[in-house]
Chain A
Amino acid sequence: MTMSRQGVQPTEVIDRAAKLRFRWNGKRFSGFEGDTIASALAAAGEQIFSRSMKYHRPRGILTADYWDPNLMVQVGDDPNVRAGHRLLESGMDVRSQNAWPSLNRDIKAANSLLGRFLTAGFYYKTFMRPQWLWPTYERVLATFAPGGKIDLDTPHAYHDKRYTHPDVVVAGAGPAGIEAALAASSAGASVMLVSHEHSVGGHLRYSSAAADQAALAELRTALDASDVEVLTDSTVTGRYEDNWLGIVQRNHPIAVERLIKARAKTLVAAPGLIERPYVFEGNDRPGVITSGAARRLVNLWGVKPGERAVVFSANAEGDAAVADLERVGTEIAAVIDGRTGGSISSTRGSSRAVDAVVADGASIGADLLVVAAGWTAPTSLLNMAGDRPVYDPAAARFFPSDPPSNVLATGGLAGDAGLDGLRQHGAATGRLAAARAAAVRHRLQSRTARALPVDGDEPAWAPDERAPLGRDPHPELYRADTHGMVDMSEDISSKDLVAAAHEGYDSVELAKRYTTATMGPSQGKLETVNTVAAIAEARGETISQVGTTVWRPPYAPLTLGALAGRMFEPVRVSSIHPWHEANNVSIIQAGQWLRPDHYGDPAAEVRNVRENVGLIDVTPLGKLDLRGPDVPKLLSLLYVNKWMKLGVGRVRYGMMCAEDGVVLDDGVTGRLGEDHYMMSTTSSGAGGVWEWVENWLQTERPDWQVHVTPVTTAYASINVAGPKSRELMSGVCEGVDLDAEAFPYMTVREATVAGVAGCFMWRIGFTGELSFELHVPAGHGLHVWEALMEAGSDLGVGPFGLEGQRVMRLEKGHFIVGQDTDGLTLGPSTGLGSLIKLDKDDFAGKPELAWAADRSLPMVVAIQPDDPDVVPEEAAQIVRGDTNEILGRITSSRYSPTLNRSICLGQVEADLAAGGTKVTVLLESGERIGATVIDHHAHFDPAGERLRG
């Protein structure tokens, strides 16, 4: 085979005035604008483009389009680029992928000598012994992994996504697809026409027939004048539920690849047909190409595919290829007609010779063998819509069976006709698509309760009155009387498939899995039907009996970058955050929140709170504003304890359990007014509890009058803690008596703080110190914080972070839901069983909590290691003596700067929960230490004198 550039063709897409220079395996080459990488290389006489996966056989152009399995190359840091499709750009660094040391001399080609041993699935039958050698075998096998190279420094370049809601999306821009788009648009539908190729026109693009070119010009003109949105070099990659479509746009000016998500009201599938290779000995040699490849090379890029050709033709496309080849001066050595029983048995010849051996054994000298053996219907989009296409032996391809009524097929997928017939069917399909889209649009709009009124009744579902396309007879040509490659990506031959079927892997799915046929980068576009044919042959059945595999999305591969799009990971910070950042804060991530962990020395922060006063930003604390006369009933239903008699201005701690009795959340809720409450939740539980509350209200107690508003971020929350907190607050508060008797522990008051009205002030805290928890309208958070800092400067006020708070809450023995409890921790296990009021009529989880009272449950307890300097890890297991029997675990642990010793919370089995029990803790180091369970959860101030102060 010797390809070369010829004179200007009327149909060509190259701009011969625009020369582009690029490199191929380090050497300089040039091509023209409009060339694909492959056409430029072919024009320059390149013959070998890749090496096959297993046998490292040399491979050349096969189909010269996107689906060509032999044209996978590396372009810069971009692996597995389809050289048959990717347009040439100036300066491209193109390399072959699967060859070493070079494309023309590949050491692993020696494998082809071992072909008879390396049959499909051979690796299942060997390398089992010795077992210890398998990792080594595996590393060697892995060197055969095909494909390009990943450069891990590749940046995640710019990708964006687009959402669109067209009435009609037409997938495929051949004559039928274009007509469908035009007709739908004329009928008033908004239409998106998606062309996989770089320009619209489908097979008309590379037809030299005058009538085809005239039609193409007419269609393009009509498109330009229409409202149809045309996307080129774009593919509908998937059809998902309710016509949700993924469309990848590869030629977006900014995004490397752009994912378009379209909710189409109707989808027209018009992908055309894909030419199927023929299986015979040597069918994968460079110089054996499909008729479509020949026609594209000649008509699109002005490349003569060879000097002397044998053409095996079973259809009009093959016949047209003969004419195209003759026009550029390729000598036609022979035309073998597959319609009249002619066949090709094998190819022979060294290097550039591709002699064709025909049925009678005669060899015809040639350097090019063009094959037109039939078509594969790429029914992928129909499969994704649930259709199971059926095989028609008379036409030798699959046809749609019964796709959903909002997915319509046209063009070659639907049948055969002359150009006019295809156009008429396309137009009829477009009108039908538009009519059905109108009905869908009406239905969607009328069912949106708050939308504007929709005029008229819903249009009737338009019946399918299209005149069906015919089906041209075509011989069933899958394999000649010799064996050849079925899957060139995977190096799987028909012989492999037959052997697999005889071994018992005789359904398509089993054979596919066993041999890996159709699993490669061509996604089975070229291979599936030949695979089915080989299995059918081995089983002595028909293709219809064997059936086909299910085509899965995507229709064409798309990059992870396009799918990922831009990173949209929200970050939440409080309004006080700028102050933290200006004050040496160390940040900790808590879900989406960025929170102050500490400001340099958490132990000092603890001591300052214990001795003076500290401020912590607790804005992420979940807050729900509850209003209505039935709030007390709601609280009684959701919390395990009682709420009916909570007075105005009072605050109460509550624990929530799920219906299975497992601890769900906890927090305090206060009564701000007659019918007005504020519930606080854990920070991580804020969203979940809100939904849970809504669920109970809406589904179990819809008659209750309660209005729920989440106000977590409506307020900035500051806890002022420490013995001097009252003194600090007195300097900034107006309108509230801070005296211990007037404003005692577990009460709430509304106040003006630092001039900000409408603040709520709670006498509660997690630290065990005298505390005031302020909820300040969020916009004033920073101001109030700064005012507190200023007012407290002579009291020694300082900030403290989450770490300090965690130490202090542990000193006080407050458990944290989700850390000291887990997914099985029942309410009574927290040690707060006395909160659970089983005499209430109903509350979430009541039956389980009642039964739990009789069960022996693990308990949350406070534990102190006997050696006060050893802090067990939060995960250290509590074990029975020297055994490995697990009796519990440490759930929280810290060194207490207040007590100067290590302190813990943990879960232990019930019989270890009594104060004074000695337990063994297994440290991560493997060391076992003694520890003692203490009487109550609080390591510090168990009587709570400080916080009541």
Chain B
Amino acid sequence: MLLVPCPNCGPRNSTDLRYGGESHARPDPNTASPAEWRAYLYLRDNPAGWLRENWYCASGCRRWFSIERNTATNEFRDPPLPGNKRGGAA
């Protein structure tokens, strides 16, 4: 059972959280081309390594946060960023 470092609740069992998938920015809905929008909807980098991703602390503080995890080793890299699914700076 993975320990997921929630920024509010501290390390919690992964079953306390909901996985939100790869962090990616939402394109401007008024200017996005079909290709850009559908890349946002469907295409994923899916690396075997460090990935910025989102978690929702469903059984705890009910906050979304974004954090980097290595998908090959399941290590987390600090610190989590509250309420941000775009990646990069909060």
Residue A449, interface by CB 8 Å? yes
**Can you list, as one digit per residue, whether each of B23-65 has a CB less than 8 Å from chain A (1) or not (0)?**
0001001101010010011000000000000101010001110
Known: A449-B7, A847-B34. 20 other contacts (CB 8 A): A241-B3, A242-B1, A261-B1, A263-B3, A444-B10, A447-B11, A448-B11, A449-B10, A659-B41, A660-B41, A694-B64, A695-B56, A695-B64, A699-B64, A699-B83, A700-B85, A843-B29, A846-B30, A847-B32, A847-B37
Q: Is the CB–CB distance between A700 and B26 below 8 Å?
A: yes
Say whether A846 contacts B29, CB under 8 Å: yes
A842 near B30: Cβ-Cβ < 8 Å:
yes
Cα distance A386–B72 in the bound complex, in angstroms: 11
Whether a CB of chain B sits under 8 angstroms from the CB of A162 is: no
A842 partner residues in chain B, CB cutoff 8 A: 29-30
Q: Is the CB of B29 within 8 A of A241?
A: no
Q: Which residue of A lies closest to B56 (CB)?
A: A691
Max chain B C-beta neighbours (<10 A), residue from A444, A698, A700, A841: A698
Pair B37/A848 contact, Cβ less than 8 Å:
yes
Chain B residues with CB under 8 A of A843:
29
A447-B37 contact, Cβ under 8 Å, with A699-B64, A702-B83, A847-B32: no
The reply to whether A447 and B74 contact each other, CB–CB distance below 8 Å, is no
A848 CA / B38 CA spacing, docked (Å): 9
Cα A263 to Cα B40 in complex, Å, equals 38
CB of A851 closer than 8 Å to a CB of B = yes
Interface residues on A, range: 20 to 34
Complex CA gap A843/B26 in Å reads 12
Given A242, A445, A846, which contacts B3 in the complex, CB threshold below 8 Å?
A242
Does A152 interact with chain B (Cβ within 8 Å)? no
Whether B30 pairs with A841 at a CB distance below 8 angstroms is: yes
B64 touches A698 (CB 8 A): yes
In the complex, chain A residues whose CB is within 8 Å of the CB of B9:
448-450
A831-847, CB < 8 A from B: 841-843, 846-847
Give the complex CA separation of A447 and B89 in angstroms. 21
Point out which of B7, B8, B13, B32 has the most chain A C-beta atoms below 10 A from its C-beta.
Answer: B13
Chain A residue with minimal CB distance to B12?
A: A448
Query: Cβ of A240 < 8 Å from any Cβ of B?
Result: yes
Instruction: Report A34-51 CB contacts with B as 1/0, cut-off 8 Å.
Output: 000000000000000000
Contacts from B to A (Cβ < 8 Å) = 1-3, 5, 7-11, 13-14, 18, 20, 26, 29-30, 32, 34, 37, 40-41, 54, 56, 58, 62-64, 73-74, 82-86
Query: Is A643 at the interface (CB under 8 A from chain B)?
Result: no
Q: Cβ of A742 < 8 Å from any Cβ of B?
A: no
Contact A695 B10 (CB under 8 A): no
Q: What would be 17 A-B contacts, judged by CB atoms less than 8 Å apart?
A: A242-B3, A261-B1, A386-B73, A445-B10, A448-B10, A448-B11, A449-B7, A449-B10, A450-B8, A694-B62, A694-B64, A695-B20, A695-B64, A702-B83, A702-B84, A846-B30, A847-B32
Q: Which one, B10, B30, B32, B40, contacts A451 given CB within 8 A?
A: B10
Top-10 shortest CB links A-B: A448-B10, A244-B1, A698-B83, A699-B85, A242-B3, A241-B2, A698-B64, A846-B29, A847-B37, A702-B83
Q: Which residue of B lies closest to A240 (CB)?
A: B1
Residues A691 and B18 in contact, CB atoms below 8 Å apart: yes
Q: How far is the CB of A878 from chain B (nearest CB, A)?
A: 29
The reply to whether B74 and A691 form a contact with Cβ atoms under 8 Å apart is: no
Query: CB distance B56 to A694 under 8 Å?
Result: yes
CA distance A890 to B62 in the complex (A): 39
Task: Give A98 to B9 CA distance when docked, in angstroms.
Answer: 54
With both beta carbons as reference points, the residue of chain B lying nearest to A446 in the complex is identified as: B10
Q: Among residues 802 to 861 in chain A, which have CB atoms less than 8 Å away from a CB atom of chain B?
A: 841-843, 846-848, 851
A847/B29 in contact, CB under 8 A: yes
CB-defined interface of A236-278 with B at 8 Å, one 1/0 digit per residue? 0000111010000000000000000101000000000000000
- Taking CB atoms, residues of chain A closer than 8 Å to B5 are 447
CB distance from B38 to the nearest CB of A (A): 9
Residues on the A chain within 8 Å of B64, using CB:
694-695, 698-699
- Given A241-B3, A244-B1, A847-B32, residue A698 in contact with residue B63 (CB < 8 A): yes
Residues in B neighbouring A659, C-beta threshold 8 A: 26, 40-41
Least CB distance, A536 to chain B, in whole angstroms: 30
> How far, in whole Å, are A744 and B9 apart by their CA atoms in the complex?
47
